[in-house]
A = this chain, B = another copy of it.
Amino acid sequence: MSKRIAGPEIERLIQLLAKVPGLGPRSARRAALHLIKKKELLLAPLSAALAEALEKVRVCSVCGNVDTADPCTICTDPRREQATLIVVEDVADLWALERAGAMNVRYHVLGGTLSPLDGIGPDDLNIAGLVARVAEGGVAEIVLAVNATVEGQTTAHYIIDRLAGLEVKVTRLAHGVPVGGELDYLDEGTLAAALKSRTAF
């Protein structure tokens, strides 16, 4: 647009909001207008929350989670079982597993998966940190909760190789039919895996 219709501050806000995942250029404009209209109710608290996050949030030096404390709330929680670590690719996966709430244990965030095509090698992931945590002792089981993708599985195999010689049990998530899933819509690989791992009724 050649004509100026508003101060550069509003244009800049829209451009930045458009970079937030889930918002595009169009919805960023709507979001900016909404924020400006709800100045006291939303813009002010959101501005404060972002400033606080910017100031306080850091990456946990133990597990790679993000939190305002380092070590993070999960690593320092004394009620969590200490002998099991769940290895995830990303903090988002950690949050998803916590919402599932099935295991009261600690985590290790890799920060991605091995991907030679994207130039991501073992040194770009927090694998050395995982080996060090296991070598320190006190960890009896590692659950490799990486995605069921080629990259995820490659990373899992690499981690197993790196842990060779250390006294630790390595497990992975079960494959099967998602809860609420319809067989008709599932791929053959999943169905074959669900049949192979069938359990007694």
A positions within 8 Å CB-CB of B:
1, 3-7, 9-10, 12-13, 16-17, 19-23, 27-37, 39, 42-47, 49-54, 56-57, 65-69, 72-74, 77, 91-92, 94-95, 98-99, 101, 104
Contact = CB atoms under 8 A, between A and B. Distances in A.
A12 B53 CA distance: 10
A8 to B, nearest CB: 8
A38 B45 CA distance: 20
> By CB atoms of chain B within 10 A, which of A6, A54, A69, A73 has the most?
A6
A21 B51 CA distance: 21
A109 to B, nearest CB: 11
B6 A72 contact: yes
Given A5-B98, A10-B66, A36-B66, A42 B22 contact: no
Contact of A54 (B17, B44, B65): B44
Of A23, A32, A74, the most chain B CB neighbours within 10 A belong to A32
Contact of A20 (B37, B42, B101, B104): B42
Nearest to A2: B101
Contacts of A13: 46, 49-50, 52-53
A36 B53 contact: yes
Contacts of A6: 65-68, 72-73
A35 B7 contact: no
A50 B139 CA distance: 45
Nearest to A22: B27
Contacts of A74: 5
Contacts of A104: 3
A9 B56 CA distance: 8
A92 B29 CA distance: 8
By Cβ-Cβ distance, the 10 closest A-B pairs, closest first, are: A7-B68, A22-B27, A47-B50, A13-B49, A16-B46, A5-B98, A20-B31, A6-B67, A21-B34, A47-B51
